[in-house]
Structure 1
Amino acid sequence: MFTNSILLAQWQKTTVPFGGIVNCVYEKGDTVLAGTSQHGGFFFSPDGGDNWVSRKILDDYPAVQTIEMHNDTLFVGSNQGISFSTNFGETWSKANINMTAIYQFNFLNNFAYAGTSSGLYKSIDHGLNWERIDTTLTQYAITSVEIKDSCIFSGTWMNGLFRSTDHGVTWTPVNNGLTQPFIRNMLIDGDDIFVGTASGGLFLSTDNGENWVQKNNGLYNWFINDLEKNENFLYVGTWDGVYISDDNGDNWNKIVNGLIDTEIRALSVDDSILYAATSGHGIFKSDYLGTEWTEKNNGLAGLEISALVTLDGKIIAGTDMGGVFVSSLTNLSWTPCNDGLPVKWITSMVALGNTIVAGNDGIYTSKDYGQNWNEASTGLTSHQIDAMLTLENKIFIGTFDGVFMSEDTAKNWTNVSNGLTDLFIQSLSCSNGNLFTGPAGVGIFMSTDTAKTWINISNDLLSSATVSAILAIDTCIYAGTRGYGVLITKDYGQSWTMMNNGLNIMGELSINSLNHVGDTIIAGTEKGMFVFNNEDSTWHKDFSKNSNKLNIKSTEIDSIAISTIYNNNYYLYVGTKNSDIWIKKLRNALSVSNENLIIGSEENSTVSFNITSNTNWLITNIPSWLNVNFESGTGNKEITITAEENSNESLRSDTLIVTSEGVESKKVVVTQQGNITGLINLGINTIYIYPNPTNNLINIKNLDANSRITITNLQGISIIDNECKDYFDLSSFNAGIYLVKIKFNNSVIVKKVIKY
């Protein structure tokens, strides 16, 4: 526990490099609109994509699936239904429709149509109210809607294309020659009707849908995610980039120069500008020929922060589609670090020693803060990793094939799932040496023997719940679920109790992460972060009430979906589903990289050490013969010490004191060697001992054959006794000062040697 030293620091927000999954893009002059799949939601750019701002839709950030303009009214289909705006999203109205999967809009005279996951919907009052057209199409997912003259065409997922000539009352299948029934999109240009399919490529009809011919010459990927056309060119977006045709689809050329993400989800084009929405790197912009693509993501936040760890003053963030990003804590600037990762979907991470372990397509490790990654999946029978934790020197992971354990820092893995009745593992936790796991839909299992065997500790409350997060503290186990909120047991599962007071709506009852600060429990939900107040047994967003003075005002984070919460005892990190990481300092930290330093005897000899801190610090007790480059500072800093010449043969040393408020001071002992270290005048010859200081070997030059050598530590214990050699290996001995005694005739000479 460290609650007594918690500071009342404010939240600090940092955003990992912008981008992410963009589902749709719409442009009208310099105004560009984008919809992301994460909770950043709807984005607005007034300057051709150079800068983006996120705009709430009715006090929320839904996942936006489609955007369309009609008569100066903006229509947005999201996972919360249909919303519309007349001022580019500054204010919104909500449509009356009981549907949350909206794929496409289209308009005919005063009628509006929406393709949804359960049929076609129609509005006759400018989008305010919607009713499903009760036809045979109600059993189909309508992925695209296009209108030609008085005909409505509806593309379905799995059942091909349908046509209606009576405003949707009756429908006729029109699939002659259309060999792929999974319709992704349509485009109508005069008498030409183009249909993009999943895996079948592009089809064209010139007779109102009666017959279709395939148009795939030059297309290397036949999954057509979007179709666009300007006056002279036809464009398709595929999982393999953007293609252009100047002959109405007869031939295609790939245009991906500068397009670092070729998984294209949507396109938008006018006579001069082409925009591409990607599956992980946001928006790209080019001229209409696709000559060269430029990333346009400043402010466009669409990545989910899926995992967080810290190591040596660095923050390592895993994301759902952007891979790994690394930043120093003192200078929050993010760098992508994905060399060696096969995909950029990070599910979980831990740090063990100097190794970062990440769940990707299997397990990957890095020993250089993410700069390089190497696969470490030996023994795994599933490469889908959903959970990860460390217990002493062991790593445990949850996969689609049970729990696996590694005892050699991820080099080899062993399945440890004996007793688990479901092997789809989504959560892991540990306390007092006990392990807890949450398989999908069967509650919680516990192991008391380091995962050799598992027993079910669920009751009826948990038996059918999907446990998405587990937090174990002493004998209390907290289970975060999808839709059932949080449950607690204090007797290892003999009884479970719901603790949902204050979690009032479905999004708040969907728990993504659980953590704690001292005895205070924190939950990350789809509707923001909540803190449990033990005094009134209620979850709060604004929390500063309990006796340990913990002050967490999570309304500063708003109602954004929280994906992960990480506590390293000094900072609380909260990762969201819109690229943001919120950081709150809990207490001061101070450490030094080396507490014993050795410096040369020459003038201006130098030696360095690092201060790792999250607050102000001061170096005191600096002797007159030493200078430091920084006597005070904030955060992490490399300290360089410069010495005056030591003209004496003897060593000298002093102790620097590094202090900071609220934490234990650190001592750094600096020892300077003598000026003639290594020279011994013994009789006729001068004997040399070198190198000194040394990390392994010392050599003794001009030693007489009758000499005997003994080496002791400062406590007088002999480590090498009565030998006559001209070299000795000290590599296996501890760092410190040793005495070399050389006996010759009746003389004894003693010399200090420094082992570092």
Structure 2
Amino acid sequence: MNRFGIGLVVVWLWMSSAVGGLAAPATPQGESEQKLTSIQALTSVGNSLIYAGSFGHGLFRSEDRGATWARSGQGVTDPFILTLTTGRDGAIYVGTFRGGVFRSRDRGTSWQAINSGLKHLEIKSLLAAGEVLYAGTADGVYQLSAANDRWSVVATGLSDILVHALALSSDGTLFAGTSGKGILRFKAQSTGWVRQQQGLKDHEGMVENFIRVLTIDPEGSLYAGTFDGGVFRSIDAGVTWRAISRALPNDSIRGILFNSRGLFVATGHGIFKTVDKGKQWMPLNKGLTSMSVQVLIESGAGLLYAGTSEGAFRSDDDGQTWRSINQGLEGEESPAPFSLR
């Protein structure tokens, strides 16, 4: 990453992650002439109810596993959705580009802003862990108090640092993936965030400090997906890292998930699966008409959803085949995010 000017890199990273590329392919014959919405975030409640956050067209909800969609954003003042998560109590939380955090307790019928205590309103990641909600923002990591709906800084050390990803280990260690500062961790009762000193070196020896995805598998291994350096794995709580994606054809990582049948990775050019911790990667792209994947989630055994720069897709067979689920997601050209400030 350090072979480019930092300012130019950050702008390029934001644009590529937000819109998935500038060139739009021609509309396939027989499909709607309306522009398909870029889906940046997904979350599910049970087996049938799913929410989709778009970049420029707000929120959508489906009660039939994506077969049909309806708008669901009354009260959400920013149509540029960056992240979604579901709380233990079924509440839905949405993080936006410049409007902060919103919550719905009535299945998406209405939404309320919960931004008290936040310094910046750009919310890149939300993590619901038990009764606690964490937010990765443009000013570090915050925690929401259930008592008064007020945010407070988790710990010192991340002021004015953009946090793209969060993960919580079984021992309570909180990991933050940042833009430019790599990965940091915070342990309860410690004095502040600690940066992982070893760094993530790719197969070319470059240290990757722009982290987009963090997740922890059932065995406790930590995985990091970078903006353009592939996937890394740590088996010692982030002390050391090993690149596992040299055989992966695309290094822009947008999502990582696990189930009993393997490790799935969403990239800037499709979805891939490994069953041997990255030695081999199998493409899972049959039926995907948009390969610029922005988000990947699982909802029930073998049921996967993918959000792309051109709509949403569902797989009922663990990613072997995909079908477009865009009825109700079509829209006009979205406004530029800065034009609405």
Where on the TM-score scale, by shorter chain, does this alignment land: which range?
0.5 to 0.7
Residue 488 of structure 1: CA displacement? 0.3
Residue 223 (structure 2) aligned to one of 501, 522, 529: 522
Query: Whole-Å Cα distance in 1 between the matches of residues 271 and 209 of structure 2?
Result: 22
Q: Following superposition of structure 1 onto structure 2, how do residues 563-574 of structure 1 map, counting pairs within 5 Å?
A: 563-568=254-259, 571-574=262-265
Q: Following superposition of structure 1 onto structure 2, how do residues 622-637 of structure 1 map, counting pairs within 5 Å?
A: none
SS in 1 for 2:191: coil
Query: Whole-Å Cα distance in 1 between the matches of residues 75 and 237 of structure 2?
Result: 48
Residue 346 (structure 1) aligned to one of 39, 52, 59: 39
Closer/same/farther in 2, CA of residues 99 and 406 from structure 1, 3 Å limit: closer
Matched, 1:279 2:23: yes
Closer/same/farther in 2, CA of residues 506 and 450 from structure 1, 3 Å limit: farther
SS in 1 for 2:146: coil
| Contact residue 457 and residue 492 of structure 1 kept, 8 A | no
1:702-733 superposed Cα distances (whole Å, 9 cap, x missing partner): xxxxxxxxxxxxxxxxxxxxxxxxxxxxxxxx
Matched, 1:580 2:277: no
Paired residue for 1:383? 79
Matched, 1:406 2:104: yes
| Contact residue 428 and residue 436 of structure 1 kept, 8 A | yes
| Contact residue 250 and residue 267 of structure 2 kept, 8 A | no
| Greater RCO structure (CA 8 Å; 6+ sep) | 2
Residue 479 of structure 1: CA displacement? 0.5
| Contact residue 116 and residue 150 of structure 2 kept, 8 A | yes
Residue 492 of structure 1: CA displacement? 6.5
SS in 2 for 1:491: coil
Query: Whole-Å Cα distance in 1 between the matches of residues 238 and 174 of structure 2?
Result: 20
Closer/same/farther in 2, CA of residues 576 and 439 from structure 1, 3 Å limit: same
Query: Whole-Å Cα distance in 1 between the matches of residues 209 and 176 of structure 2?
Result: 12
| Contact residue 184 and residue 193 of structure 2 kept, 8 A | yes
- Flag structure 1 segments of 5+ consecutive residues without an equivalent: 1-61, 63-79, 82-97, 102-264, 266-277, 285-292, 296-335, 543-553, 587-611, 615-634, 637-756
| Contact residue 182 and residue 199 of structure 2 kept, 8 A | no
SS in 1 for 2:246: helix
Residue 358 of structure 1: CA displacement? 0.5
For 2:177, give the aligned amino acid: G
Query: Whole-Å Cα distance in 2 between the matches of residues 424 and 100 of structure 1?
Result: 18
Paired residue for 2:125? 427
Matched, 1:358 2:52: yes
| Contact residue 221 and residue 237 of structure 2 kept, 8 A | no
Which structure would you say has the larger Rg?
1
Q: Following superposition of structure 1 onto structure 2, how do residues 248-263 of structure 1 map, counting pairs within 5 Å?
A: none
Paired residue for 2:288? none
| Contact residue 435 and residue 451 of structure 1 kept, 8 A | no
Paired residue for 2:311? none
SS in 2 for 1:280: coil
1:661-717 superposed Cα distances (whole Å, 9 cap, x missing partner): xxxxxxxxxxxxxxxxxxxxxxxxxxxxxxxxxxxxxxxxxxxxxxxxxxxxxxxxx
Paired residue for 2:332? none
Residue 212 (structure 2) aligned to one of 496, 506, 512: 512
Q: Following superposition of structure 1 onto structure 2, how do residues 553-564 of structure 1 map, counting pairs within 5 Å?
A: 554-557=245-248, 560-564=251-255
Query: Whole-Å Cα distance in 1 between the matches of residues 83 and 162 of structure 2?
Result: 14
Query: Whole-Å Cα distance in 1 between the matches of residues 169 and 230 of structure 2?
Result: 23
Residue 470 of structure 1: CA displacement? 1.1
Closer/same/farther in 2, CA of residues 563 and 425 from structure 1, 3 Å limit: same
Paired residue for 2:167? 471
For 2:216, give the aligned amino acid: H
Q: Following superposition of structure 1 onto structure 2, how do residues 363-378 of structure 1 map, counting pairs within 5 Å?
A: 363-378=59-74
Residue 493 of structure 1: CA displacement? 6.6
1:58-89 superposed Cα distances (whole Å, 9 cap, x missing partner): xxxx9xxxxxxxxxxxxxxxxx89xxxxxxxx
TM-score, length of structure 1 as denominator length: 0.31
Residue 448 of structure 1: CA displacement? 3.7
For 2:152, give the aligned amino acid: I
Paired residue for 2:326? none
Query: Whole-Å Cα distance in 1 between the matches of residues 68 and 174 of structure 2?
Result: 37
Closer/same/farther in 2, CA of residues 506 and 449 from structure 1, 3 Å limit: farther
Query: Whole-Å Cα distance in 2 between the matches of residues 342 and 533 of structure 1?
Result: 43
| Contact residue 200 and residue 243 of structure 2 kept, 8 A | no
1:209-265 superposed Cα distances (whole Å, 9 cap, x missing partner): xxxxxxxxxxxxxxxxxxxxxxxxxxxxxxxxxxxxxxxxxxxxxxxxxxxxxxxx9
Closer/same/farther in 2, CA of residues 484 and 506 from structure 1, 3 Å limit: farther
SS in 1 for 2:150: coil
Closer/same/farther in 2, CA of residues 433 and 443 from structure 1, 3 Å limit: same
| Contact residue 184 and residue 196 of structure 2 kept, 8 A | yes
Residue 558 of structure 1: CA displacement? 5.3
Closer/same/farther in 2, CA of residues 346 and 536 from structure 1, 3 Å limit: closer
Query: Whole-Å Cα distance in 2 between the matches of residues 556 and 439 of structure 1?
Result: 32
Residue 567 of structure 1: CA displacement? 3.3
Closer/same/farther in 2, CA of residues 483 and 450 from structure 1, 3 Å limit: farther
Taking every aligned residue pair, what percent have the same amino acid on both sides?
A: 26
| Contact residue 433 and residue 450 of structure 1 kept, 8 A | no
Closer/same/farther in 2, CA of residues 493 and 561 from structure 1, 3 Å limit: farther
Query: Whole-Å Cα distance in 2 between the matches of residues 492 and 569 of structure 1?
Result: 34
SS in 2 for 1:503: coil
Query: Whole-Å Cα distance in 2 between the matches of residues 517 and 99 of structure 1?
Result: 32
Closer/same/farther in 2, CA of residues 414 and 502 from structure 1, 3 Å limit: same
Q: Following superposition of structure 1 onto structure 2, how do residues 448-487 of structure 1 map, counting pairs within 5 Å?
A: 448-449=145-146, 452-460=149-157, 462-474=158-170, 475-487=172-184
Q: Following superposition of structure 1 onto structure 2, how do residues 716-755 of structure 1 map, counting pairs within 5 Å?
A: none
SS in 1 for 2:124: strand
The structure with the greater share of residues assigned to strand is: 1
Closer/same/farther in 2, CA of residues 423 and 569 from structure 1, 3 Å limit: farther
RMSD: 3.6
Query: Whole-Å Cα distance in 2 between the matches of residues 402 and 613 of structure 1?
Result: 33
For 2:24, give the aligned amino acid: G
Matched, 1:439 2:133: no
Q: Following superposition of structure 1 onto structure 2, how do residues 134-145 of structure 1 map, counting pairs within 5 Å?
A: none
Q: Following superposition of structure 1 onto structure 2, how do residues 260-271 of structure 1 map, counting pairs within 5 Å?
A: none
Q: Following superposition of structure 1 onto structure 2, how do residues 183-202 of structure 1 map, counting pairs within 5 Å?
A: none
| Contact residue 435 and residue 450 of structure 1 kept, 8 A | no
TM-score, length of structure 2 as denominator length: 0.66
Which shows bigger deviation, 564-573 or 485-494? 564-573
